[in-house]
Amino acid sequence: MLFKLEPNSPKFEVFVKLNEELLHFLEHAIAGGNFKRSLLTSGDVGQACWNNFKAPRAKNDLTRDKFKKLFVELKKETQNNRQRLFDTVESHQDLSAFFTAPNRTLLSFLSTNTFNALKALMTHLYCSTKDLTGVIAGSNGQCINTHFNNFRQENGLVCRACGMEQLAPFRANVENENQWRADYDHQLCKSKYPIYAVHPDNLIPLCRVCNQDAKKAKDLFECSNGLSRFALNPSTEEAHNILYIEIEELLDPEPKAVLKWNTRDAVTLDKLNTWEDVYEIRNRVEGKYISIVNLIQDEINPSNVQELDVGVQSKARPVNANTLKRKEWAFWEQKVFSAINAVDKSAFWAQLEFSNEQGEEGGEYIIQGD
């Protein structure tokens, strides 16, 4: 994460309750026996899950059906394995501990059928069960839109993972419950770590680019070559104070803004590289500022070298913390202008003069109709 989550970031009560439902079910399934109502909690959430089952001849399984299919597969496991599954889930509720010592083989003792049934249940709890009226009623009436707006009040409008995009556009004259919201990203992807599919600490609203375009189903703790890696804990760790931008190839026609890490610590470097790989941070930053001359022209548009110098210095000043929460790219733009301010700006002025001359000649061509 570019910026860690604010300490008072709210938990989504629906995910708290559904996570408790999973723990209750796994504990009461240890003994085996018959599939029955007491396998789920006695309150509104458990009742909503129990009542949500497919009608005769319907094609798609609903919540109770998903629980039953997992129960059937669990009965094929040994009682020791059923106990082990419950113990594993219960003892791994602290996600900070998982980020410190990630275990990619947490559920390797389960059969393939049991693992797939667990994954199917957890995916359904996240995708469909969270929106059931009874589940929301049993979660203090808080729907996901309410939670998202509360999250945004604490953490701001801009994605905490990248600092580049808004979480979702905010519309005037629209009630909070009807505002658009960002998708919730599973830090530990639900396909590989299904026990965290509805864990309240594992789900974070991210911008569309981070979630859908960049991350998708990437595993924070596994490289593309299959090796293990570490990742930044979004609740306690952030990258903004251990990176910088440097201008390279200053005398070339197109100088480059290059993102670099400001640490030699091996574990921290591994976490930064994971963050960069998962969200494609370097490609996005260096792509955004692929033309520094264009950036200067768009943001300062100086008419002489003195205006260029003053404008760059102004843009290089530290950004207010509230601005970072409100304005996309504010963090990165300040970093780039700080890098520009640290080098000889005469090369940029020469390119700006040339660009302006070309623009004026093009304008005259259009006016004269030649």
pLDDT for the residue numbered 70 = 98
Which residue carries 């003892």 as its tokens?
Answer: 91
d(CA 332, CA 164): 8
Residue-wise pLDDT tens digits, 146-170: 999 999 999 999 999 999 999 999 8
**H or E element that contains 257:** strand 256-261
The contacts of residue 276 (CB under 8 Å, 6+ apart) are 259, 282
Task: Decide if pLDDT at 367 tops 50.
Answer: no
* Structure token digits, residue 263: 């640490």
First to last CA, the chain: 53
* Structure token digits, residue 114: 């049991």
d(CA 231, CA 317): 30
Q: What is the mean pLDDT of residues 171-178?
A: 88
d(CA 233, CA 61): 35
pLDDT tier, 361 (very low <50, low <70, confident <90, very high otherwise): very low
Identity of the amino acid at 233: N
Residue-wise pLDDT tens digits, 258-271: 999 999 999 999 99
pLDDT tier, 365 (very low <50, low <70, confident <90, very high otherwise): very low
d(CA 80, CA 168): 46
Task: Decide if pLDDT at 250 tops 90.
Answer: no
Task: Decide if pLDDT at 187 tops 70.
Answer: yes
Q: What is the mean pLDDT of residues 319-332?
A: 97
Cβ pair 77, 115 in contact under 8 A: no
Helices (H), the chain: 13-28, 44-51, 63-76, 79-91, 95-100, 112-127, 133-137, 144-155, 208, 266-279, 281-288, 292-299, 305-315, 321-326, 330-341, 346-368
pLDDT for the residue numbered 369 = 55
Residue-wise pLDDT tens digits, 29-44: 999 999 999 999 999 9
d(CA 40, CA 256): 58
Task: Decide if pLDDT at 362 tops 60.
Answer: no
Residue-wise pLDDT tens digits, 84-140: 999 999 999 999 999 999 999 999 999 999 999 999 999 999 999 999 999 999 999
pLDDT tier, 363 (very low <50, low <70, confident <90, very high otherwise): very low
